[in-house]
Chain A
Amino acid sequence: MPVLSAYFAALHRDLLLVMRRKTEVLTVLFFVIVTTLLPLGIGPEPDLLRKIAPGAMWIAALLATLLGLQRLFAADYADGTLEQMVLSPKPLTILVAGKITAHWLVCGLPLVLLAPVIGLQFDLSSDAIGILMLTLLIGTPLLSLLGAIGAALTLGARGSALLVSLLVLPLYIPTLIFGAGAVESYIAGLGAMGHFSLLGALLILAAAFAPWATTAALRISLE
């Protein structure tokens, strides 16, 4: 399908750029360092660490995704390739969706895969780690999708790095509450189904609307 091939073209291009530049990998390192500093700063109290683990890891994940967001469209805007994407005969939304997917694969998926290792530092049980991974798996694409709207809106503005954070972090609140809440309520023995359903609903909603909103914001920013 021609539309799908445009999606994969954008995805492939962004992944190739990440492979060439390699600095994007630092996002993952940031996540590891922040989550390693916390147990060191708080001290070896397993009960306390277990308690703060879900919240701490989710906040670290939010900040790590935010780091990659500033570059999501800014580099393409600066060298004019974004202009070429807007002028592509294929829908811009599809290309934007490809770019968001690339952002998630680079900044979101590694966090999910690293969660078990980090979870051990907080003395989480293997069940709780499984739940945490699942919440991150549903939640990190949501962060990329919402973040893309913010990144597109602040494109070309001065001090856009700070603006993105201020704009996007409040939007992350529901994800943070349900993501961290799922693990906490599982540990408390209440089950996490409710939280998962809400996270899933948010993801579907964002996947349906965020690429369109991002496209509209990009067209305004490029004027």
Chain B
Amino acid sequence: MQTPALVSRNLSCIRGKQTLFQGLDLQLDSGQWLYLQGENGAGKTSLLRILAGLTLPADGDVLWQGSPISKQRGQYHQDLLYIGHHAGLKEDLTLTENLQALCRMDGLRVNDVDIREALTHMGLAKRQHLPARVLSAGQKRRGLLARTLLRPAKLWILDEPFNALDVNAIADVQNLLKAHLAKGGMLVLTSHQTPYLGTDAHGFVLNLSGSR
């Protein structure tokens, strides 16, 4: 049997004196998704940051395609798209400039047409030349999620992707996630509302509150 693409072994995370979770084993293969549940402060974001390689776990390790992510940072980050709970946009730049800067720093060549298409897909065609500071929280969120259309990545790690989005936008994003899974992508997400990702893709739910 082939080894699963994303594996975590015996992960634990300690914040201050509190152990958020310990001995956490996960595995995720292509076309599968993992939904993290838990109350505020249960360690959802901490786990996402550990999986993305932003934070080191107190114990255990994360493997990507069979080898530890700290040993192959460039390759892992090529395959990974992480969108945190931050706005992640420069307030003084327009959405187009923001996306262009993000893509070019990732080493991607994108032209204005690609960006316009991605923003149109997210329903922001009329807002593409406005500075991010005048946009609403939901519009910023959608602008940032337009990155998922511009950057090919096998593994998406999304922290609260549905935050501040209206009902239609949530449906759009869920379709985006379904399409990603149907193409064999992987997805790890947290959310305070249960995502509906169809029955085709195999999903797991992990409740972190129980470990406290």
Q: Which residue of A lies closest to B83 (CB)?
A: A84
The interface residues of chain B, by DSSP majority, are classed as: loop
Chain A interface: which size bin? Answer: 20 to 34
Shortest distance from the beta carbon of A80 to any chain B beta carbon, whole Å: 2
The interface residues of chain A, by DSSP majority, are classed as: helix
Of residues 60 through 109 on chain B, the ones whose CB sits less than 8 Å from some CB of chain A are: 74-75, 77-78, 80, 82, 84-93, 97, 101-102, 104-107, 109
Binds B, one of A9-17, A51-59, A66-74, A170-178: A9-17
Q: How far is the CA of A55 from the CA of B157 in the complex (A)?
A: 53
Q: Does B56 contact A (CB under 8 A)?
A: yes
Identify which of A20, A84, A86 gathers the most chain B CB atoms within 10 Å of its CB: A84
| Residues B93 and A20 in contact, CB atoms below 8 Å apart | yes
Shortest distance from the beta carbon of A53 to any chain B beta carbon, whole Å: 38
When distances are taken between beta carbons in the complex, the residues of chain A under 8 Å from B56 are: 223
When distances are taken between beta carbons in the complex, the residues of chain B under 8 Å from A88 are: 77, 105-107
Of residues 1 through 37 on chain A, the ones whose CB sits less than 8 Å from some CB of chain B are: 2, 5-6, 9-10, 12-13, 16-17, 20-21
Shortest distance from the beta carbon of A223 to any chain B beta carbon, whole Å: 5
Q: Which residue of B lies closest to A77 (CB)?
A: B86
| Residues A81 and B104 in contact, CB atoms below 8 Å apart | no
**Tally of chain B residues near chain A (CB < 8 A):** 30
Query: Of A12, A17, A83, A95, which one neighbours B84 at CB under 8 angstroms?
Result: A83
Q: Does A87 contact B (CB under 8 A)?
A: yes
When distances are taken between beta carbons in the complex, the residues of chain B under 8 Å from A13 are: 90, 93, 101, 104-105
Query: Of A2, A6, A16, A21, which one neighbours B97 at CB under 8 angstroms?
Result: A16
| Residues A79 and B93 in contact, CB atoms below 8 Å apart | no
Q: How far is the CA of A12 from the CA of B74 in the complex (A)?
A: 22
When distances are taken between beta carbons in the complex, the residues of chain A under 8 Å from B82 are: 83-84, 87
Of residues 78 through 120 on chain A, the ones whose CB sits less than 8 Å from some CB of chain B are: 79-81, 83-91, 95
Shortest distance from the beta carbon of B211 to any chain A beta carbon, whole Å: 21
Q: Does B55 contact A (CB under 8 A)?
A: yes
Q: How far is the CA of A17 from the CA of B88 in the complex (A)?
A: 15
Q: How far is the CA of A88 from the CA of B107 in the complex (A)?
A: 8
| Residues B92 and A20 in contact, CB atoms below 8 Å apart | yes
A6 in contact with B104 given A83-B84, A222-B54 (CB within 8 Å): yes
Q: Which residue of B lies closest to A79 (CB)?
A: B87
Q: Does B52 contact A (CB under 8 A)?
A: yes
Query: Of A80, A91, A222, which one neighbours B88 at CB under 8 angstroms?
Result: A80
| Residues A89 and B74 in contact, CB atoms below 8 Å apart | yes
Shortest distance from the beta carbon of A94 to any chain B beta carbon, whole Å: 9
A-binding residues in B (CB < 8 A):
52-56, 74-75, 77-78, 80, 82, 84-93, 97, 101-102, 104-107, 109, 131
Sample of 7 A–B contacts (CB below 8 Å)? A5-B109, A9-B101, A13-B90, A79-B89, A83-B82, A83-B84, A89-B78
